[in-house]
Amino acid sequence: MPEKLKVGVIGAGRIAEMRHIPEYLSNRNVELVAIADIDKVQLEEMGKKFNITKLYIDYKEMLKKEKLDAVSVCTPNYLHAPITIDALNHGLHVLVEKPMATSLEEADKMIEAADKNKKILMVGHNQRLAPGHQIAKKIMESGMLGKVNMVRTVFGHAGPEFWSPRGKWFFNKKEAFAGVMADLGIHKVDLVRWLLGQEVKRVSAFKATLEKAGDVEDNGVAVMEFEGGTLGILQVSWTLKPGEDNSTIFYCEKGMLKLFAEPDKPVVVSLREKGDYMPNFARGDMSFSLPPMQTNEVGGQFSSGVIDYFVECVLENKKPFISGEEGRKSLEIVIAILKSAETGSVINLPLK
């Protein structure tokens, strides 16, 4: 492996502008070589903003001409799989944005290409790397809260048009494959199954298009039953105003774990005395001083940790804990949720 990892970014939209490009540039182990995007105006704008001179309209030309070690795939969802597979077959490591694909068949082909070429495939599920969620994982694994009976997780904001003004594709099913469930729901599904250490057994869901123009859902609710018996409620919205809700609460045998649910307290553990069931009596709360959750709001952008972790995995040749296989499992749950909402049926997992 070279002294510096030579990286290219495919897709010069908002996620590349706000996260991938600046985070690569700030990593001392990386040389960001080139950017590719079919939108020439956007491409040149990003090149000028970040002082990157090697710009390609055709990503295939970039893969052919530049001696790269890795790429980020930051395109609309329907392009994730073909570009990722192409890059892996060129012998490159790949960090792909979520959802990793638009179908399980695509996801399987991506994983197969990574295995065949012995390259790292990582999915950009940044919520796992948020400091508050890293602390939460340790709390969950400690057993201090006992069995988790129920979890409620919410992700909502006013819509992707406020985060990505050029991102018209979010509202087009052909390009996005789904709406808020693919955009925000997959984040929370992935987070909860990772924190619980349990897989989803079955789901029941509803979805609606209440405000946004397009042919995808802008709101959704799902009930999940996990293999360990925990019940979960997922709420996602592109019509939440004002601000953003990115909270998760675990209701446990010995108390509660609240994540980004209280202002200025990213992680709160509330414990109760064993055997005492007075609803307002607790042994005490523990809160942790941590960075806030990265948001899509102005001023909410800072290092996600995703790029640094991807670079670390490549340089140390280790499989990321946000692997293609993990991305596929979360995608499968979202597909099941959408199927339930469309059919009115309870959907069992794994899907047939």
Work out the average pLDDT over 332-343. Answer: 98
Q: What is the pLDDT of residue 352?
A: 85
With cut-offs at 50, 70 and 90, classify the pLDDT of residue 276. low
CA distance 198 to 41: 45
Task: Say which CATH number the domain at 54 has.
Answer: 3.40.50.720
- The proportion of the chain whose per-residue pLDDT surpasses 70, expressed as a percent, equals 92
Same domain membership, residue 142 and residue 42? no
The CA distances from residue 187 to 12, 22, 183, 254, 334, in Å, are 22, 22, 7, 27, 10
Beta bridge partners of 152: 233, 249
Asked if omega into 263 is within 30° of 0 (cis), the reply is no
Work out the average pLDDT over 15-21. Answer: 95
| 326 part of a folded domain | no
CA distance 87 to 177: 22
Q: What is the pLDDT of residue 287?
A: 73
Q: What is the pLDDT of residue 288?
A: 72
Its domain, for residue 168, covers 127-297+331-348
The CA distances from residue 80 to 11, 76, 85, 214, 335, in Å, are 10, 7, 9, 21, 16
Same domain membership, residue 262 and residue 316? no
Same domain membership, residue 156 and residue 40? no
Q: What is the pLDDT of residue 291?
A: 64
Q: What is the pLDDT of residue 283?
A: 55
Same domain membership, residue 144 and residue 280? yes
Work out the average pLDDT over 143-165. Answer: 95
Q: How many domains does the chain have?
A: 2
| 274 part of a folded domain | yes
Pick the closest to residue 207 from 188, 190, 227, 223 (CA basis): 223
Same domain membership, residue 150 and residue 121? no
Same domain membership, residue 144 and residue 14? no
Q: pLDDT, tens digit, for every residue of 167-220?
A: 999 999 999 999 999 999 999 999 999 999 999 999 999 999 999 999 999 999
With cut-offs at 50, 70 and 90, classify the pLDDT of residue 300. very low
pLDDT at 301 over 80: no
Same domain membership, residue 235 and residue 181? yes
| 95 part of a folded domain | yes
With cut-offs at 50, 70 and 90, classify the pLDDT of residue 285. confident
pLDDT at 242 over 80: yes
Average per-residue pLDDT in the chain? 93
Same domain membership, residue 196 and residue 76? no
